[in-house]
Structure 1
Amino acid sequence: MSKNFPMMAKTLFGFEPLLAKELRALGAQNISEGIRQVSFEGDTGFLYKANFCLRTALKVLKPIAKSRVRNQQDLYRAVYDIAWPSFFEVEKSFALDTTMFSDLFNNSLFVTQKAKDAIVDRFRREVGRRPDVDTRNADVRIQLHLRDDVLTVSLDSSGGSLHRRGYRQQTNLAPINEVLAAGLLKHSEYSEHFDLLDPMCGSGTFLIEAAMMACNIPPAINRNSFAFMNWRDFDAELWEVIREAALNKIRDCSASFVGYDKAPSAVAKAKENVKRANLEEYIRIEQRDFFKTQKEKSGKLQLVCNPPYGERLQIDGEEFYGKLGDTLKRSYPGTDAWVISSHFEGLKHVGLRPSRKIKVFNGSLEARWLKYEMYAGSKKAKKQNRT
């Protein structure tokens, strides 16, 4: 039975508590929240499970060495002293990703180059040959994290970012990141007992992530490879056990998932992504203008929306967000509407007071995830019914 070891999962700003909750539910030990990351402990099987099942993680790292470095000689020696041939074979390509919060070196490229030299030299000494560097499609990715004079070297078990689920081949001008979509749904306390509508669905990401959550489908089910598969200690049999155990927990759900978009190209792309995710029986995509629609059923509805911000898709903010608010008030009673936007001026014209505001980032843009509660009757009557 393999022993537990330290790991760290990277995430987006504000998603640390969500990721910690996910890790706890999966069975991680010694969980500790940081900034855009959560550290924890688990065994090799858990490392595989974390990559396959975490919805709000971008990467899962396995730290392998920590050293104090004060100059380039210390840096070279710290990396050279790691027994690299025991981690991956010389035939595998590798790449380095460096993050620095230190005044000891001028730039991260120098640190990366020095570490690369150390790894290559260690292989030459022990194997007689050196592995190739491939910055785009490396078999093995290594993370260097330098804070002040402390260097942490980690193996990136994920490889490509975990937001690349494998189902989204078609995107529009302003697609929402899959991890961001999943985290926003979790922030909204999305329940599979409610129907979900995305009235400006674009690539369909919100709908796909919500349906996968409702059916307990592992987020990486459509992904073919992870970097840990290229490590020397990769256990293919254990991986299959972990994968099958997760797949056996998939369930059916009764909720409906509906997406509108007025652009025919967006509808076509969303439908293709839904098809690739094998979720056609759950998700319906239609070409419709949200501002001309009304609620389909009388029951509880959750609406999620990533409207244009005016960055890549030009809009008249006052008119657009005014229409958004008017449509919600007029046509969507009994709806909890969640909207993400960085168009702060436009949001002033929604004409509704949000009951929740959560600061998030969509890429480099600071945004807000806002909840608008649309009551079936008047708000006053709603309050009276509660008392």
Structure 2
Amino acid sequence: MSANRRDQPFYMTATTQFGLEEVLAQELRALGAKVEKVGLRAIEFTGNQQLLYEACLWCRTAMRILRPFASFHAPDEKTLYREVGRLDWSKYLRQDQTFAITAVVNKSNLEHSLFVAQLTKDAIVDQFRNRTGERPNVDVRNPDIRLHLHMIENEVVLSLDASGESLHKRGYRQQTNVAPLNEALAAGLLLLAGWDGKTTLVDPMCGSGTLLTEAALIAQRIAPGLYHQGKFGFENWADFDAVLWETVQMDARQMRLEEPQCYLGGSDLSRDFIELARENVAAADVEDFIRLGVRDVKDAVAPARAAPGIVIMNPPYGERIGEETEMDDLYKTIGDTLKTNFQGYDAYIFTGNLQAAKRVGLKASRRIPLYNGPIDCRLLKYELYRGTRKVAKEGEEGGE
């Protein structure tokens, strides 16, 4: 019976950042999920319990994996309270467990997500109190059970959060006071660039090394969820299958490749950043696969004995007043370095400063819109031909 129940497919939702939806859909398909819908910052898919565990362990660009379990129409607060109260909460929550509710409300009569979350909490707590005389406690920071309520045009969907801590928080990043890329976005940039984990990858402005660390995890087939801090949300669910979870983790550990798959190298002008990068890389246990050095971007060169691959970077955007000239100069230097020292490579620059990006002096062949936190950004692709493009064209066309 249990094995049969385990294999029953059910509906799930994976959330991600704007611009990474197709990449995440591809990741889920590769795990065997049936993708039902690619929405805005969310993918709806079906799969069984094993797939749920694997998605939490393997998805590089997901923020959360949710399992919807109830939906209803709630045009007012009375209906919301009543409908939540009709559900049998003992299926999802024990009275000795803590819980928290995140509510997202759009285009509904009830506008305030905090009020909606509070009302839902009251309905759950009241049911327990009426039935047993005791109630589960709320723990906003580190609950056993995380619930998500999504309300759009008065239609409510309630989901269990399988993730626990957001999946982008891998746990290898050491204390950092810089504003690095989040890990899911860094992985997303690499996957959007079409990087296959087998060709040379260079980051000449690597900061604390997030892009390089994520690149090593891809190249060496390391599941990002193996770094997850604390329990996953599903480990506290009523139907948690400890044996299946142990098997999924063991399979993931055995997938890891110990031989370096490609050249991964990074440099930064700041010695402090390179030290921080070394700490992060060591915490992720991938120091054998990444070369790091202190170097100004203007002195960055392609590795001598590696075939051309991609050069990727996330330069500063210069958000402070009065940095315009400095940024213009920096982006011009980046362009000069790429043209001179990285011929034959594909270059990707991820930036939130589209004015300064014009100073790169190369024509972008792709411009992918993304966000870094609240900042509107682009991932810009430049194809760095050997010699000028014009010469290459003339050669191809018989020198017309």
The interval holding the TM-score normalised by the smaller chain is over 0.9
Partner of 1:269: 276
Q: Displacement, 1:171?
A: 2.8
Could you tell me which amino acid in structure 1 is paired with residue 315 of structure 2? P
Residues 1:247 and 2:257 are matched in the alignment: no
Could you tell me which amino acid in structure 2 is paired with residue 226 of structure 1? F
Residues 1:359 and 2:364 are matched in the alignment: no
Alignment of 1:166-315 (within 5 A): 166-224=171-229, 225-251=231-257, 252-297=259-304, 299-311=307-319, 314=323
Which of the numbers 74, 77, 100 marks the counterpart of 1:72? 77
Partner of 1:134: 139
**What is the aligned residue count?**
387
Partner of 2:14: 9
Q: Which moved more, 1:357-366 or 1:240-249?
A: 240-249
Which of the numbers 118, 139, 153 marks the counterpart of 2:123? 118
Question: Is residue 198–residue 260 contact of structure 1 (8 Å, CA) maintained in 2?
Answer: yes
Relative to total residues, which structure has the larger helix share, 1 or 2?
2
Q: Deviations over 1:194-226 (max 9, x none)?
A: 111111111211001111111111111111421
Q: Displacement, 1:246?
A: 2.2
Residues 1:88 and 2:90 are matched in the alignment: no
Residues 1:382 and 2:392 are matched in the alignment: yes
SS of residue matched to 1:129: coil
Q: Deviations over 1:54-108 (max 9, x none)?
A: 1111100000100001111110112112221221222221111010013412411
Question: Is residue 192–residue 253 contact of structure 1 (8 Å, CA) maintained in 2?
Answer: no
TM-score (norm 2): 0.93
Q: Displacement, 1:364?
A: 0.9
The runs of at least 4 aligned residues of structure 1 exceeding 6 Å deviation read: none
Please list every run of 5 or more consecutive structure 1 residues that lacks an aligned counterpart in the other structure. Answer: none
SS of residue matched to 1:248: helix
- C-alpha spacing 1:384/1:212, structure 2 compared with 1 (3 Å): farther
TM-score (norm 1): 0.96
Identity %: 41
Q: Displacement, 1:386?
A: 5.4
In 2: Cα distance, 1:360 partner to 1:56 partner: 13
Question: Is residue 174–residue 312 contact of structure 1 (8 Å, CA) maintained in 2?
Answer: no
Partner of 1:156: 161
Residues 1:335 and 2:334 are matched in the alignment: no
Please list every run of 5 or more consecutive structure 2 residues that lacks an aligned counterpart in the other structure. Answer: none
Partner of 1:49: 54
In 2: Cα distance, 1:152 partner to 1:103 partner: 13
Q: Which moved more, 1:259-268 or 1:165-174?
A: 165-174
In 2: Cα distance, 1:253 partner to 1:34 partner: 36
SS of residue matched to 2:227: coil
SS of residue matched to 1:307: coil
Q: Which moved more, 1:325-334 or 1:114-123?
A: 325-334
- C-alpha spacing 1:234/1:383, structure 2 compared with 1 (3 Å): same
Question: Is residue 75–residue 108 contact of structure 2 (8 Å, CA) maintained in 1?
Answer: no
Q: Displacement, 1:384?
A: 5.1
Could you tell me which amino acid in structure 2 is paired with residue 334 of structure 1? G
RMSD over aligned CA atoms reads 1.6
SS of residue matched to 1:182: helix
Could you tell me which amino acid in structure 2 is paired with residue 303 of structure 1? V
